[in-house]
Amino acid sequence: MLEEQRKKTIEWLCIRENPISADIAIVFGSAREIDLQQRIQQGIKLYKDGFVPKLLLTGRGDMDEAILMEKIAIQCGVPKSNLLIEACSDNTVENVKFSLELLQKTEFLDRIFTIILVSSAWHMRRVLLITKKYFPPHIVFACYPPTENEIPSDEEEKILLTEAILAKAFLKHASLTA
């Protein structure tokens, strides 16, 4: 029974759609280096495959996530002119709010109709809920995590449980702090 509930939670949290042509991809940072590497590589792939002309890299955290992702993207051939950097946010809500502010300041928001969201599969439900809350309603979002609905290892069980609690709290109260 517990395993069935775990599977249902993973299926609910994880959203993966086929990539679509979009105006920009927002790549969310992570305190976990493996997640950060997978996310930026997915963003770079979307850029190189022609799905998006620009990447917005978001996150500060303990390791200056957006700055680290910017370095990786440039090393992989993404021109700096096609990167927007939001390096002040410390959690998912701030990632979204500060990314929106950056797009407003650069006057790029008026030309955005489609956004691909890039984060870990287990993080996508919350990312999508928060982004839909703060961004203009005319924008269409597609979720494209770097992996399928992965089954977390035992040490990642805590992350999964926390993510489910936060996403469900958002649905109940329409706000999150992390």
Chain mean position to CA 134: 14
Distance CA 44, CA 89 (A): 21
Please indicate, yes or no, if residue 162 is contained in any of the structural domains.
yes
**Phi first, then psi: what are they for 99, rounded to 5°?**
-65, -40
Report whether pLDDT(14) > 50: yes
Please indicate, yes or no, if residue 133 is contained in any of the structural domains.
yes
Report whether pLDDT(55) > 90: yes
* Cβ count within 10 A of residue 130: 24
Please indicate, yes or no, if residue 117 is contained in any of the structural domains.
yes
- The pLDDT confidence band at residue 149, using thresholds 50, 70 and 90, is very low
Would you state the pLDDT for residue 148?
A: 58
Out of 1-15, 55-69, 89-103, least confident range:
1-15
Q: Which residue has the higher pLDDT, 42 or 34?
A: 42
Q: Report the CATH number that the domain containing residue 159 is assigned in CATH.
A: 3.40.50.620
Would you state the pLDDT for residue 150?
A: 56
Would you state the pLDDT for residue 92?
A: 94
Number of domains within the chain: 1
Give the residue numbers spanning the domain of 120.
Answer: 2-173
Please indicate, yes or no, if residue 132 is contained in any of the structural domains.
yes
How confident is the model over 78-101, as pLDDT tens digits? 999 999 999 999 999 999 999 999
- Across the chain, how many H-helices and E-strands are there? 6, 5
Please indicate, yes or no, if residue 124 is contained in any of the structural domains.
yes
Percent over 70 (pLDDT), the chain: 90
Please indicate, yes or no, if residue 178 is contained in any of the structural domains.
no
Q: Which residues of 27-66 are buried (b: 16+ CB within 10 A; e: fewer)?
A: bbbbeeeebbebbbbbbbbbbeeebbebbbbbbbbeeebb
Please state the pTM of the whole predicted model. Answer: 0.87
Distance CA 87, CA 63 (A): 10
Contact criterion met (CB below 8 Å) for 83 and 69: no
